[in-house]
Structure 1
Amino acid sequence: MRVFVAGGTGALGRRLVRQLVAHGHEVTATTRSAGKAGELAALGARPVVVDGLDGLGVGRAVAEAQPDAIVHQMTALAGVADLRHFDRWFATTNELRTTGTRHLLAAAQASGVEKVVAQSYTGWTNIRTGGPVKTEDDPLDPHPAKAQRESMAAVQFLERAVTGAPLTGIVLRYGNFYGPGASESMVELVRARRLPIIGRGTGVWSFIHLDDAATATVAAVERGTAGVYNVVDDDPAPVAEWLPHLAEAVGAKPPLRLPVWLARAAAGEVVVGWMTEGRGASNDRAKSELDWRPAWTSWRDGFRHGLTDVAEARP
């Protein structure tokens, strides 16, 4: 199969390109930086330098590749996380989820592409009422924090556009990534005791190792049908459970605890909501319909053995 990966040099994109090539697919992968083209070639892909917000460039690249499937993995997060000003931090990623998605779908339809698989997210986006674990049929949060409204709108746009397109549109809602290239900043915060448990730490998170996110994406490309799939491990857990475990796994002191009122003043509504009201996600649909299983079934083992290069470390 000919596969076009838009965003091939990110932490997930590189793993995805490698796995697609290993599965025998002919891969064309994009990067915005000419300096990273060599990385893609070394992985076995044909590199294309193009900005995902350049509609003409995207259309030309897809037309030349003539792919059977397009995978949308374009994001643009860099620098220090700014959760207090979440939408400002996510501004370019939000544009890639809206304008970039439009360009890819237009290119797909113009070139007769049969399938588009797009990256979405499950975590703070989930409705914060009801049970602790959500399925794909549960609604997204109708009342996100003020600082996340634009980001929520971008996620909703991408999901509607991809699943509503006249092709096989697949949305993968990845959980919180960890693994080399994804979790270093969180580990630094834990070691510095700057990631506290807020209140009782009742917010539930779902995690997914980057390698498992890549295998799920390959499964979606090869045999997925239209729809939305949560791509998470088997073990959604509250912050009060996973955060101390992470601290122990990386040799850090136990996390501090902050009352909600103090955390709200210090860090803002986004952090407080995520750490106290978050909801996890079920992976039952992905297991059933994509015939996929995460190799790291729980963050419990993943945090101990999967935060660095894990080729030989997996139990």
Structure 2
Amino acid sequence: MRILVAGATGAVGRQLVPRLVRAGHEVHGTTRTASKQAFLRGLGATPLVVDALDPEQVAQAVAQARPAVVVHQLTAIGPMDLRHVDRGFAPTNRLRTEGTDHLLSAARAAGVERFVAQSFFAGYDRVGGPVKTEEDPFGTAPPAGMEQTVGAIRHVEESVLAASGMQGLVLRYGGFYGPHTSLGPDGEQTEAVRRRRFPVVGDGGGVWSFVHVADAAEATVAAVEGGAPGVYNVVDDEPAAVATWLPVLAESLGARPPLHVPRLVGRLLAGETGTVMMTELRGASNAKARQALGWAPRHASWRDGFRELGALARAGSGTPA
């Protein structure tokens, strides 16, 4: 099957492309940077240099690739600042709004059969129980300072699910960790935990769901090859409160235990958005993805994954795709 991966050199893309190739698919991958063409060829993909915000370039790339499936992994995430999330995510938000529209328009014109897009679990409304399913309210009450970012995620979901003439699937990934992520062996979040700059705010009751980036790629392959249109949480088996997982992460990295700060101090350090994520976030259940996609994470719990991460960080090396 011919597949176009938009954003093929990102954290998920570089894990996804070789898996699709090994499964026997013909893969075309986009990159904004001409110098990354050799890297994509090395992964087994045909490279396409595309500015995803240029509708003509997107249309030309999709027409050239003639894919049966488009996988939307476009992001431009730089260093994270929880005090200014919308500002930091502004380039990615454009890719999730304008870029999504350009991809969908080109996909319709090219007769694409299936469209798989990246989303994020953290948009669940912060009401009710600690763990959410795909049927729970999503994105209607974003934290202050995150309105544009959550709005862009909702745009992806609503546009893909409503697209005519093709099957739309949305994958709500958990928080990534592993190679080439901010929680990788040399990532910025990893370094913050090492330096005790990632405190537990308030009671640390915010529930996070994680997924190793390799497991996210495996779930994406499953969504490319099967599964009904709709939304799927792609997370591991153990949603956990910050007060539970952050000390384990620190220990795995050989760091001192994280600091604990009151919520008021947390607002000064991480802003309202960061404080809400540390104290009010809701996790996600992967039951639907397990059943409907036939997928199961190899890293069933962040506990095992963090131990692996710690070993890699101490060794100063990553893992192959």
The question of a shared fold, defined as TM-score above 0.5 by the shorter chain, is answered with yes
Shift of 1:224: 2.2
The one-character-per-residue Cα deviations of 1:119-138 (angstroms, maximum 9, x if unpaired) are 00002x11111000000110
Q: Could you say what secondary structure the match of 1:52 adopts? A: coil
The verdict on how the C-alpha distance between 1:311 and 1:15 changes in structure 2, with shifts beyond 3 A counting, is closer
Q: Could you say what secondary structure the match of 2:138 adopts? A: coil
The one-character-per-residue Cα deviations of 1:162-184 (angstroms, maximum 9, x if unpaired) are 00001100000000000011112
Are 1:186 and 2:185 matched, yes or no? Answer: no
Which residues in structure 2 correspond to 1:16-95 (within 5 Å)? 16-78=16-78, 80-95=79-94
Aligned to 1:244: 247
Are the aligned partners of 2:5 and 2:73 in contact in 1 as well (CA < 8 Å)?
A: yes
Shift of 1:141: 4.0
The one-character-per-residue Cα deviations of 1:28-77 (angstroms, maximum 9, x if unpaired) are 00000001111100000000000111100010111011101000000001
Aligned to 1:165: 163
Instruction: Provide the C-alpha distance between the structure 1 equivalents of 2:309 and 2:83, rounded to a whole number of angstroms.
Output: 29
| Runs of 5+ unmatched residues, structure 2 | 313-317
Aligned to 2:114: 115
Are the aligned partners of 2:252 and 2:309 in contact in 1 as well (CA < 8 Å)?
A: no
Instruction: Provide the C-alpha distance between the structure 1 equivalents of 2:141 and 2:267, rounded to a whole number of angstroms.
Output: 17
Instruction: Provide the C-alpha distance between the structure 2 equivalents of 1:16 and 1:175, rounded to a whole number of angstroms.
Output: 16
Instruction: Provide the C-alpha distance between the structure 2 equivalents of 1:147 and 1:229, rounded to a whole number of angstroms.
Output: 26
User: What letter corresponds to residue 37 of structure 1 in structure 2?
Assistant: Q
Are the aligned partners of 2:32 and 2:49 in contact in 1 as well (CA < 8 Å)?
A: yes
Q: How many residues align?
A: 310
Instruction: Provide the C-alpha distance between the structure 2 equivalents of 1:268 and 1:171, rounded to a whole number of angstroms.
Output: 29
Instruction: Provide the C-alpha distance between the structure 2 equivalents of 1:244 and 1:310, rounded to a whole number of angstroms.
Output: 24
Are the aligned partners of 2:115 and 2:168 in contact in 1 as well (CA < 8 Å)?
A: yes
1:273 to 268, 276, 284: 276
Which residues in structure 2 correspond to 1:99-110 (within 5 Å)? 99-110=98-109
1:128 to 104, 111, 126: 126
Q: Could you say what secondary structure the match of 2:145 adopts? A: helix
Shift of 1:102: 0.6
Are the aligned partners of 2:194 and 2:253 in contact in 1 as well (CA < 8 Å)?
A: yes
Are the aligned partners of 1:97 and 1:154 in contact in 2 as well (CA < 8 Å)?
A: yes
User: What letter corresponds to residue 180 of structure 1 in structure 2?
Assistant: P
Instruction: Provide the C-alpha distance between the structure 1 equivalents of 2:270 and 2:60, rounded to a whole number of angstroms.
Output: 44
Instruction: Provide the C-alpha distance between the structure 2 equivalents of 1:268 and 1:173, rounded to a whole number of angstroms.
Output: 25
Q: Could you say what secondary structure the match of 1:146 adopts? A: coil
Instruction: Provide the C-alpha distance between the structure 1 equivalents of 2:194 and 2:301, rounded to a whole number of angstroms.
Output: 21
Instruction: Provide the C-alpha distance between the structure 1 equivalents of 2:296 and 2:309, rounded to a whole number of angstroms.
Output: 16
How large is the RMSD of aligned CA atoms in angstroms?
1.2
Q: Could you say what secondary structure the match of 2:267 adopts? A: helix
User: What letter corresponds to residue 5 of structure 2 in structure 1?
Assistant: V
2:224 to 221, 224, 239: 221
Between the aligned residues of both structures, percent identity stands at 55
Shift of 1:211: 0.4
Are 1:282 and 2:285 matched, yes or no? Answer: yes
Instruction: Provide the C-alpha distance between the structure 2 equivalents of 1:54 and 1:5, rounded to a whole number of angstroms.
Output: 17
Which residues in structure 2 correspond to 1:135-146 (within 5 Å)? 135-146=133-144
The one-character-per-residue Cα deviations of 1:13-37 (angstroms, maximum 9, x if unpaired) are 1000011011110000000000111
Instruction: Provide the C-alpha distance between the structure 2 equivalents of 1:91 and 1:97, rounded to a whole number of angstroms.
Output: 10
Instruction: Provide the C-alpha distance between the structure 1 equivalents of 2:121 and 2:202, rounded to a whole number of angstroms.
Output: 22
User: What letter corresponds to residue 16 of structure 2 in structure 1?
Assistant: L
Q: Could you say what secondary structure the match of 1:219 adopts? A: helix
Give the alignment's TM-score, normalised by structure 1: 0.96
User: What letter corresponds to residue 47 of structure 1 in structure 2?
Assistant: P
Instruction: Provide the C-alpha distance between the structure 2 equivalents of 1:196 and 1:256, rounded to a whole number of angstroms.
Output: 5
Instruction: Provide the C-alpha distance between the structure 2 equivalents of 1:142 and 1:214, rounded to a whole number of angstroms.
Output: 28
Are the aligned partners of 1:209 and 1:306 in contact in 2 as well (CA < 8 Å)?
A: no
Aligned to 2:205: 202
Aligned to 2:263: 260
User: Structure 1 stretches (4+) deviating beyond 4 angstroms?
Assistant: none
The one-character-per-residue Cα deviations of 1:180-211 (angstroms, maximum 9, x if unpaired) are 11112111000100000011110000000000
Instruction: Provide the C-alpha distance between the structure 1 equivalents of 2:106 and 2:22, rounded to a whole number of angstroms.
Output: 26
| Runs of 5+ unmatched residues, structure 1 | none
The one-character-per-residue Cα deviations of 1:254-277 (angstroms, maximum 9, x if unpaired) are 000000011112321011100000
